[in-house]
């Protein structure tokens, strides 16, 4: 099983917002989550200076490619604030991936032994009894 990396932006913990069902879209500058569309993946919280942690699971939906106007209109669903390092750049587009059926683990699991820029193999670290 794969886990996708979700970076924390300052005090905003996007991974927790995803697994808590509050962040409905994961935003990316490119179609980097294409291999995971329609698949159940682990949600990996990453933060500079902290160990990566598996915090839950979700299914990744087919993305919308949006312009700046639409991105700003959908802010209540993706939760990326204006001025954030993940905000859309003027004149560019963003991929918004729907997050389907998120589940938060009762306790995070250390995923620092795995590596990857976009995703990482978490086959050996997920809960064996967790219903995917």
> What's the pLDDT tens digit per position in 29-83?
999 999 999 999 999 999 877 899 999 999 999 999 999 999 999 999 999 999 9
Q: Return the number of other C-beta atoms located less than 10 Å from residue 97's C-beta.
A: 24
Q: pTM of the predicted model, to two decimals?
A: 0.89
Percent with pLDDT over 90 in the chain: 77
């Amino acid at each position: 099983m794969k886990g996708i990396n979700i970076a924390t932006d300052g005090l905003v913990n996007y991974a927790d917002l995803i697994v808590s069902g509050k962040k409905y879209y994961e935003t990316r500058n490119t179609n980097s989550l294409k291999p995971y569309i329609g698949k159940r993946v682990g949600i990996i919280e990453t933060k500079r200076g902290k160990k990566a942690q598996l915090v839950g699971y979700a299914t990744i939906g087919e993305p919308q490619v949006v312009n700046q106007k639409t991105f700003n209109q959908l802010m209540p669903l993706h939760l990326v604030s204006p001025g954030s390092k993940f905000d859309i750049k003027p004149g560019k587009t963003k991929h918004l991936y729907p997050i389907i059926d998120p589940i938060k683990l009762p306790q995070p699991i250390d995923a620092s032994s795995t590596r990857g820029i976009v995703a990482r193999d978490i086959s050996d670290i997920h809960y064996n009894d967790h219903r995917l």
